[in-house]
Amino acid sequence: MSEPLAADTDTDTETTATGSENNSDPPRSPEQLVLAHLGLARQAAGHFTNRGEAYDDLVQVASLALVKAAERFDVERGVQFSTFAITCIVGELKRHFRDRAWAVRAPRRLQELYLELGATIDRLSQELGRAPTVPELAKALTVTEGAVLEALEAGRAYRTSSLDEPDEEGQAMVEQLGSTDVEFDHVEDRSVLSMALSQMPPRDRLVLGMRFVEGLTQSEIGARLGLSQMQISRLLASSVERLRSSITEGPPTAEGNVP
């Protein structure tokens, strides 16, 4: 995560059992706590965007965690509810990424390392002005180079983020990127690649065209689309599979593609 979440986003009087400033207020009901802290749940969900999950799904996960937190909150402990709730919400969001965003179950340490790796690649790319090497990533993450390579491979099992899914304003990312679509008509080579590309869904066509027609690197594509290099890596791998399926097998299937 880029910066810590603020627990005190609720501007209403905070709920504690023994706090000297607020104990004149009676403890609120779980329903009141949930309603008063929905903004906190949305803020926490927003902190986990750009990791391949739809914002609405993350808000749902965070909101359910908020409900659980309100039910479990013990006013006798003297802890502010927002502090208790944010711990519960962030924990639930992390579990969501570990458990549900993976098409194939990867070891927990690899799942967590993979999520950290994406942010580290983007940070080092900015700092270095080039794509970082594996030793540089290993040093930054204080893990072995082998662990970095394992995490990269494990990323193939991570669900592809969808440029077709609507954002929080209901607009699919691919619609916002219409002006960046690749000019296939200008491609001299009318081979099977350009023919197949023209028949692909917009999302795949966009990313494949940028990489294989325009010749952009994964980092450059990520920068142009506002996505991480690792998201582009996953998108490319899955799009190439679909491209191959469209040529050799008709409609894409889960079988027969390189995992």
Partner 1 sequence: MSAQEHQSFDPVRGERIELSFPATVDLVVVARFTAATMAARAGFGIDDLEDLRLAVDELCISLGPLTGDRTLRLVFERSDDAVDIVASFVTPPEATTIDSLPDHAIWQQGRELSARLLDSLVDEHGGEIRDGQRCTWLRKQRSGTRS
What is the binding site for partner 1 (CB under 8 A)? 121, 125, 130-135, 137, 145-146, 148-150, 152-153, 156, 189, 191-193, 196, 211-212, 215, 217-219, 229, 233, 236-237, 240, 243-244, 247-248, 256-259
CB of 145 to partner 1, least distance (A): 6
Choose between 53 and 150: whose C-beta lies nearer to partner 1. Answer: 150
Choose between 21 and 255: whose C-beta lies nearer to partner 1. Answer: 255
CB of 133 to partner 1, least distance (A): 6
Choose between 43 and 233: whose C-beta lies nearer to partner 1. Answer: 233
Q: 150 CB contacts (<8 Å, ≥6 apart)?
A: 110, 113
Q: Which residue has tokens 């193939």?
A: 156
Task: Compute, in degrees rounded to 10, the torsion defined by CA atoms 192, 194, 196, 198.
Answer: -160
What is the SS3 assignment for 141? helix
Among 178, 155, 119, CA closest to 259: 155
Rg (CA), the chain: 22
CA end-to-end span of the chain: 29
Choose between 179 and 191: whose C-beta lies nearer to partner 1. Answer: 191
Choose between 35 and 104: whose C-beta lies nearer to partner 1. Answer: 104
Choose between 91 and 256: whose C-beta lies nearer to partner 1. Answer: 256
CB of 232 to partner 1, least distance (A): 9
CB of 210 to partner 1, least distance (A): 11
205, 26 contact by CB (below 8 A): no
Please state, in angstroms and as integers, the Cα–Cα distance from residue 168 to each residue in 53, 97, 118, 173, 258, following that order. 12, 19, 22, 10, 33
CB of 121 to partner 1, least distance (A): 6
CB of 162 to partner 1, least distance (A): 20
Q: What are phi and psi of 247, to 5 degrees?
A: -90, -45
